[in-house]
Amino acid sequence: MKAFGWKPTIRTSLIILVLACIVPAALAGTGLAYYSFKAERQQLLDNTLARARALTAALDHEMIEAEGAIRALGTSPSLTSGDFQGFYQQAIEVQAQQEADNVVLSEPSGQQIINTLLPYGAKLPFSRSPHFEKLLEADHPMVTDLFVGAVSKQPHFSIQIPIRRDDHVMYTLTIGMFPKRIDQILPQENAPSGQVAGVLDSSGVIVARTKGKVDLVGQKIPAEIQAQMANRSEGYFPTKTADGTPAILLFSRSQTSHWVTYLTIPEAFFTQKLWDSLKWVVSIPLLLAALVLTFVWRVGGAIAKSITDLTAPALALGYGQEINVGPLYLREADEVGQALVEASYLLKAAQYEARHDKLTGLANRALFNEAVQGQMLLCKQMKATMAVLYIDLDGFKAVNDTHGHSAGDELLCSVASRLSASVGSSGVVARLGGDEFAILLANSGNDDARVLAETLIENVSAPHAMGHLSISISASIGIALLTEASQTPHSLLRAADEAMYRAKRAGRQRYVVADPSLAA
């Protein structure tokens, strides 16, 4: 990668710096004020984004604390024994401790049993909202979006957990909160003039806001703002306030509830700082004469900086990371920087070759084992499923013996292409060596693996056109499913390998599912 464009030498840089001393002081002052403004603006944006993250952390803390309270309440002996009146009193205590608005116990049908907004024994409504349906299907707590309560008739949100007995949902337990609960975490003091802070639920509805609370809470933010936030965990972008004032919106999204905290700052706040800085331009000419001598001394610092800016990329290269060095002040330093970038590309290419099969371009055994190990950890944390398919080609040796290794290599590439096309983006395809391949299927169970195995056998067994040759082979496949007893990628792959050999012994061109105990 070659750097284009003229770059000054060190000597030329010194001459330019000396000549710069005669540039009108007003121009120097203006440039200084402008660059100072840009730096301050970026610093303010970074600091404000950090505050948005802090608000998100505070929001998560509130919800986790409430979740912990109802989890503890859900283990009450009164609930187990059916003493709903005693459980009602305990729910009242939890409501008071958490400063919540109500606690609700419901049957899976949606019929409320207890609602602390009403006296015990009062007639309670049937409530089966979309949030309720999702809760019954999930195995984890849920934070709802803002909705109108069946009893309170007011907008509120809730944290819900399923109460299970013997793997069956017996009840659902909910702690509800009005939007005013979120007001407590929003900054009210020491904020820049005109700043607005707020919280959105996962659908983009305003839950809380430091200004215009009564008018805007419960309304959705504009679609263009939602589009800017979509698929982003945090960031900032220019927008306009409700009255059309240009502003910057900074936001941070919770990874647990998917709610968003945001801060908006008027653009006028930044431009005012720029004008304040320009006031000093008049005084700069008076200081310029005294700064000329020291200005030359700073030349050495500028040269040194061009060199020291290469330190971080050089260290990153040593750690095997890809680097990107932007244009530097000196030509010589820029050439070194571009050399580091080229070395980074070469290193990345070498790392790729070390983790992929050179013939087919598929993942090799090392990369496949890493993928299996990572997916196993993820599946065990999320209680998800996965499968490993071990594939051996039937009749491949005869192709090598009859048509030569060149034809065998071409056949392996054809098989690899068909395997990749069959699996698509739902899994990882690897060549383990020779005519052995393996496939990792994430979030897939027994039925998915069987369907894929049948598809693979059909696709691999179809004739392979190679020049004037049409070669037919087949495949034997072993399937191993992740179980609670599965310990290592090696044990899972070994189980699939043994199942594959059983398929071969059974007549080839078929698949066999491994005994779950063999994956331990």
Query: Mean pLDDT throughout 24-52?
Result: 76
pTM exceeds 0.95 for this model: no
Which of the residue ranges 75-79, 184-188, 290-294 would you say has the lowest mean pLDDT? 290-294
Query: Mean pLDDT throughout 92-103?
Result: 90
Burial of residue 382, with CB atoms counted within 10 A of its CB: 0-12 exposed, 13-18 middle, 19 or more buried: exposed
Farthest-apart Cα atoms in the chain, separation: 95
What pLDDT, on a 0 to 100 scale, did the predictor assign at position 485?
63
What pLDDT, on a 0 to 100 scale, did the predictor assign at position 464?
93
Q: 391, 415 in Cβ contact below 8 A?
A: no
**Residues 494, 495, 500, 501, CA torsion sign:** positive
Query: Mean pLDDT throughout 257-277?
Result: 80
What pLDDT, on a 0 to 100 scale, did the predictor assign at position 22?
64
Measured distance CA(312)–CA(324) in Å, rounded:
11
What pLDDT, on a 0 to 100 scale, did the predictor assign at position 156?
83
CA-derived radius of gyration, the chain: 33
What pLDDT, on a 0 to 100 scale, did the predictor assign at position 257?
86
Task: Please say if the pLDDT value at position 150 is more than 50.
Answer: yes
CA distances, 195 to each of 58, 241, 250, 267, 440 (Å): 19, 11, 11, 10, 50
Burial of residue 392, with CB atoms counted within 10 A of its CB: 0-12 exposed, 13-18 middle, 19 or more buried: buried
What pLDDT, on a 0 to 100 scale, did the predictor assign at position 471?
92
The residue that leads in pLDDT, 325 or 494, is 494
Percent of residues, the chain, with pLDDT higher than 90: 28
Query: Mean pLDDT throughout 493-517?
Result: 91
What pLDDT, on a 0 to 100 scale, did the predictor assign at position 23?
60
DSSP alpha helix (H) spans, 130-257? 130-137, 180-183, 213-216, 223-229
Q: What pLDDT, in 10s, does the model give residues 399-452?
A: 988 888 899 999 999 999 999 999 988 889 999 989 999 999 988 889 999 999
What pLDDT, on a 0 to 100 scale, did the predictor assign at position 301?
62
Query: Mean pLDDT throughout 168-190?
Result: 81
Multiple choice CATH, 43-278, 3.20.20.80, 3.30.450.20, 3.20.20.140, 3.30.70.100 = 3.30.450.20
3-class secondary structure, 286: helix
What pLDDT, on a 0 to 100 scale, did the predictor assign at position 13?
62
Query: Mean pLDDT throughout 154-178?
Result: 85
Which of the residue ranges 19-28, 147-156, 455-464, 501-510 would you say has the lowest mean pLDDT? 19-28
3-class secondary structure, 429: strand
Chain-wide mean pLDDT for the chain? 82
Amino acid at 140: H
Which of the residue ranges 180-184, 224-228, 370-374, 508-512 would you say has the lowest mean pLDDT? 180-184
For the chain, domain boundaries: 43-278, 365-519
Task: Please say if the pLDDT value at position 520 is more than 60.
Answer: no
What pLDDT, on a 0 to 100 scale, did the predictor assign at position 250?
92
Task: Please say if the pLDDT value at position 178 is more than 80.
Answer: yes
Q: What pLDDT, in 10s, does the model give residues 108-130?
A: 888 899 999 999 989 988 876 65
Confidence of residue 286 (pLDDT cuts 50, 70, 90): low
Please choose, from the candidates 162, 137, 141, 116, the residue with its C-alpha nearest in 3D space to the C-alpha of residue 63: 141
What pLDDT, on a 0 to 100 scale, did the predictor assign at position 475?
94
Task: Please say if the pLDDT value at position 9 is more than 60.
Answer: no
Q: 314, 320 in Cβ contact below 8 A?
A: no
What pLDDT, on a 0 to 100 scale, did the predictor assign at position 1?
47
Instruction: Identify the architecture of domain 365-519 in CATH.
Output: 2-Layer Sandwich (3.30)
Query: Mean pLDDT throughout 389-402?
Result: 91
Which of the residue ranges 13-17, 59-63, 72-76 would you say has the lowest mean pLDDT? 13-17
